[in-house]
Structure 1
Amino acid sequence: MPSLPPMPSFRGPGRATHPRPRIPVPTARAIVDCGVYVDGTRTPGHFTPEQALSEARKTEAGFVWVGLHDPDESQMNEIARIFDLHPLAVEDVVHGRQRPKLERYDDTLFLVMRTVSYIEHDIHAISEIVETGDIMVFTGPHFAITVRHGEHTGLAGVRRELEGNPDQLRLGPCAVLHAVADHVVDSYVEVSESVEEDIDEMEEAVFTPSSKIGIGSIFQLKREVVELRRAVGPLGLPLQQLVHNQDLPLPKEIRRYLRDVADHHTSVSEHITYFDESLSALVNAALAKISVQQNTDMRKISAYAAMAAVPTMIAGVYGMNFDHMWELHQVWAYPAVLMLMAGLCALLFRSFRRNKWL
């Protein structure tokens, strides 16, 4: 993926000449940033979404990028009124937790992506290692709207990188769609690398004789990999549609960039499939290890039971209180029987040790 130069600074005397307009309070709480871009450069000043759209429409190459975080229904309805968004797409944004998908409403594209974040943890006490959220992107002739649910995978860095690359921004709102998709797939790569390290550590623990790693930890890690696969896998189809569907309103150059994003996504999906197979093999290995340990324990128990059976049998015979028994009234009979018991037990112990039962 291409590296981008840092964002140029727009601070200066010109900013003081643009007073901050009043934004309706309900909508303002959800807006992270709202900028107007003309010919790849951000227009100085602060705008409400309605003012920004009006400013962007003054030129052919202008567009507005509105960033929202966890908007509620009233806030999204206000944005939908300004940008003429379809009610079905607005409903998906408000409810969140949508499956990754791409929808088209006339000249507006609506892309839903799941975001993932890695949570540091102890390999012996795994609770949750993958946190998920949503990022949704609207693109139209003069606007790009990004909606983020969750506290991770922020887009401030994406905006800075794009503002530092005017050539990319000149491609219009679809440049925002590509940048956000690229950012999301990059986060998939980072999380998958961290999960791979966990699996390697888990594999080493399973095959270490003295390790006390529980099979429950393996199952929990497998469950987290399933959660990761559910978030990452379904995005493949929307990315392929963006790359190959010529009917979608996307510049040719953006399709080329999205092809690279789709390739990275395919690579991550293949790694996650490998993770699932590796953890299934680890479960089988852990079960086999437990089975071997149980067999070893049973052999030890059986050996000790056999050694205990010999003196028990002899003592039982001499405890039947018959008068006519072998050497019953001899002085040396009692210590002789004890020595016989000890000798037989020692013989059995030596035999079991030789056969590695003890």
Structure 2
Amino acid sequence: MLHVFVNDGGLLRWAKEADGAPGPVPRNTVWLDLLNPTPDELVRAEALIGAPLPTREQMAEIEESSRLRVANGILSMTVTALVWADTDEPRIAVVTFVLAGRRLVTIHHIDPQPFLAFRRRASHAELPITKGEAVLAALVEGMVDRTAGVLRRTGIELDAINRRAFRGRKLRSRGETLDDTQTLKRIGHAGHLIGKARVSLASLTRMMDFLGRDEGWNAGKATRRWARTARQDVAGLDEYAGFLAGKVALLLDTALGRINVEQNEIVKIVSIITVLLFPPTLVASICGMNFTAMPDMDEPAAYPSALLLMLLSALLPMIFVRLRRWL
């Protein structure tokens, strides 16, 4: 899918009539957004900038020299964006920015939320954007803001789990039930989301460093200054993500430790109950032996005495255990 944005009298306008039209792309195009492009759409975009665009296989390469390069004054940068963060399966999508003069071409196969939001803004409001560098800055800032929002929500989620995990001297209140399986799932999902966010932030950091160096392409002072500022924002988010990752590790250890303590408590109770039931079982076993010569077989008080002895043999060890605070 091809989205064409042109310079219309100093304003950025979505030229929807040119998206699917055959023939060359308008010469006043500022931004070409390629979402799952077809071969024909790639040919139209390459004809506009006069250079080949990276293929899907080239976008998937992880070497920095393959992701950040300059050729004939055309800047190609590939980063990873956090997508589907509001679902149970967050993913990392590869996005390529190709900056050729005053034009920007973006290639991606999953539509990140900042791209969708910026296209909506451009279709409903008049944006005073005439250069591809300004579009690049707006898209990257949207990606950073999106990642910041995801990390902020994840931090709130971890704080809620933390308040339930650490509550005074006791791990849980009397009568309170906690779904440990669900808690572990929430902690695991938060850790998975934070890991995806850090991968995206790392790629954005490398891109900001690359833009700030101005090696091999003619970048303006405003672009370099913006890149350095964005680099600081991304670095701050990465530090916060590292803090959240440490909190995830602590909460995971706490949850597993609580489960282990509860399991040990159950085994302890079962073991003590087994010991408490041993004396009355022994009395019942002795009194229940069927021998003719057993003493007290003909005594009227033999049966009540045996019952009383079994009761005492159960109560006395239980009182002893309670006094020692083993239960």
- Give TM-score scaled by structure 1 length: 0.75
Of 228-237 and 179-188, the range deviating more from structure 2 = 228-237
Which runs of structure 2 are paired with 1:229-244 in the superposition (5 Å)? 229-244=198-213
Give the 3 Å change call, closer, same or farther, for CA 255–106 of structure 1 in structure 2: same
Asked if 1:213 is matched to 2:180, the reply is: yes
Partner AA of 1:72 in structure 2: T
Asked if 1:301 is matched to 2:270, the reply is: yes
2:140 corresponds in structure 1 to: 181
Asked if 1:258 is matched to 2:227, the reply is: yes
Asked if 1:109 is matched to 2:72, the reply is: no
- Alpha-carbon deviation of 1:275? 1.8
Which runs of structure 2 are paired with 1:260-279 in the superposition (5 Å)? 260-279=229-248
Task: Give the CA RMSD over aligned residues.
Answer: 3.0
* C-alpha contact 2:280 2:310 (8 A) present in aligned 1: yes
Output the CA distance in 1 between the equivalents of 2:77 and 2:11. 25
* C-alpha contact 2:68 2:76 (8 A) present in aligned 1: yes
* C-alpha contact 2:32 2:45 (8 A) present in aligned 1: no
Structure 2 residue runs without a partner (length 5+): none
Asked if 1:52 is matched to 2:23, the reply is: no
2:127 corresponds in structure 1 to: 164
Asked if 1:317 is matched to 2:317, the reply is: no
- Alpha-carbon deviation of 1:200? 1.7
Asked if 1:31 is matched to 2:2, the reply is: yes
Partner AA of 2:137 in structure 1: H
1:16 corresponds in structure 2 to: none
- Alpha-carbon deviation of 1:345? 0.7
Output the CA distance in 2 between the equivalents of 1:255 and 1:277. 33
- Alpha-carbon deviation of 1:131? 4.3
What does the per-residue CA deviation read over 1:3-60, in whole Å, with 9 as the maximum and x for residues that have no partner? xxxxxxxxxxxxxxxxxxxxxxxxxxx222330367x44589866783522xx4xxxx
1:136 corresponds in structure 2 to: 96
Output the CA distance in 1 between the equivalents of 2:220 and 2:51. 21
Structure 1 residue runs without a partner (length 5+): 1-29, 57-62, 122-126
Asked if 1:67 is matched to 2:33, the reply is: yes
Partner AA of 2:133 in structure 1: C
What does the per-residue CA deviation read over 1:226-281, in whole Å, with 9 as the maximum and x for residues that have no partner? 22322332221121111134443211111111211111111111122222211111
- Alpha-carbon deviation of 1:288? 1.0
Aligned identity (percent) is: 18
Output the CA distance in 1 between the equivalents of 2:122 and 2:59. 23
- Give TM-score scaled by structure 2 length: 0.81
* C-alpha contact 1:158 1:183 (8 A) present in aligned 2: no
Output the CA distance in 2 between the equivalents of 1:44 and 1:307. 81
- Alpha-carbon deviation of 1:120? 4.5
How many residues are aligned here? Answer: 307
1:192 corresponds in structure 2 to: 151
Output the CA distance in 2 between the equivalents of 1:161 and 1:180. 17
